[in-house]
Chain A
Amino acid sequence: MVSSLIGIHAALGEIAIFAFIWVFIELLNPSEQRIKRAKKAAVIGVILFFMSWIVGGYYYVNYYGKNVKPIIKEGPVPWAHEIFTETKEHIFLFLPFLSILTLGLIHKSGKALIKDKKTRSSILTLTFLIVLIGLAMAVMGYLISTGARAALEAKLL
């Protein structure tokens, strides 16, 4: 049976990425109102990354390890687990902390971001990095699913 937890984990993570794309857009040309919205979007992003961590972690520990990992490792593309699951599960740990940092920086800088272009650029770069890592998580998730599918197809055919 396919666990629905992986879908929930992916959805939470992807909405968190959208929240940080929203932060990025608000900070491109900030006003007081846009900075307020950026803070709200960052709070949403932080909460969703933590939820994605908990749901994904529960799935990984209680389902993936017993049901999916052995299938992928015996299949035609074991690197899907050996490289991409291993990389994904560890780099993911950076996201909640980077998102808290971004929220803290926006909160602390506040209205000053309207005039302080250099700090704004650095926060924009940090936000862009969060989005990039988030997208990398999605791509690695796809590769891991492909590894599981390839293994199941090899068993059936």
Chain B
Amino acid sequence: MKINTKSLIYATSLTIILATLLTIIAELSKLLKDFLASITGHHWVTKGLFALIIFIAVYFFFASSKDYKECKKEIYSVIAITIVSSLAIFLFFVWHFLSK
């Protein structure tokens, strides 16, 4: 199978962004967290499956699109998204703990 780096970059970026948003929103909404838990029995398992499904779906959705000739800027975008998302999750849980 020929790899499409554009769809791979889109899939990774969207997976990280959506997993981060789902994590934070589910902590703020008991209703959503309970709903996630009701799907697989544990909210974290559902989040993992959700991330996997998003990654595969986004990759195949863009797989036939025209690929990048070069993608260094897009790789740095994924790096920036990962750093911001990681910090957002960490700082959210620090805030969540301190605000209890």
A-B contacts, 22 listed (Cβ < 8 Å): A57-B44, A61-B41, A61-B44, A61-B45, A78-B97, A83-B93, A86-B96, A87-B89, A90-B19, A90-B47, A93-B47, A93-B51, A94-B19, A94-B85, A94-B86, A98-B78, A101-B8, A104-B8, A122-B76, A122-B79, A125-B76, A126-B75
Complex Cα gap A61–B41 (Å): 9
Q: Is the interface of B mostly helix, strand, loop or mixed?
A: helix
| Further pairs besides A83-B97, A101-B78, A105-B8: 17, Cβ < 8 Å | A57-B45, A60-B44, A82-B93, A87-B93, A90-B44, A90-B89, A91-B90, A93-B51, A94-B85, A97-B15, A105-B5, A105-B71, A107-B3, A116-B70, A119-B71, A121-B72, A122-B72
Q: Do residues B86 and A53 form an inter-chain contact, with CB atoms below 8 A? A: no
Report chain B residues within 8 Å CB of A89.
Answer: 44
Say how far B26's CB is from chain A's closest CB, in angstroms. 10
Most B-side CB within 10 Å, residue of A60, A65, A101: A101
Complex Cα gap A119–B9 (Å): 14
In chain A, positions 56-108 with a C-beta closer than 8 Å to chain B are: 57, 60-61, 65, 78-79, 82-83, 86-87, 89-91, 93-94, 97-98, 100-101, 104-105, 107-108
Interface size bucket, B side? 35 or more
- With A61-B44, A83-B97 as known contacts, state yes or no: A98 contacts B82, CB within 8 Å: yes
Binding site for B on A (CB under 8 A): 53, 57, 60-61, 65, 78-79, 82-83, 86-87, 89-91, 93-94, 97-98, 100-101, 104-105, 107-108, 116, 118-119, 121-123, 125-126, 129, 133
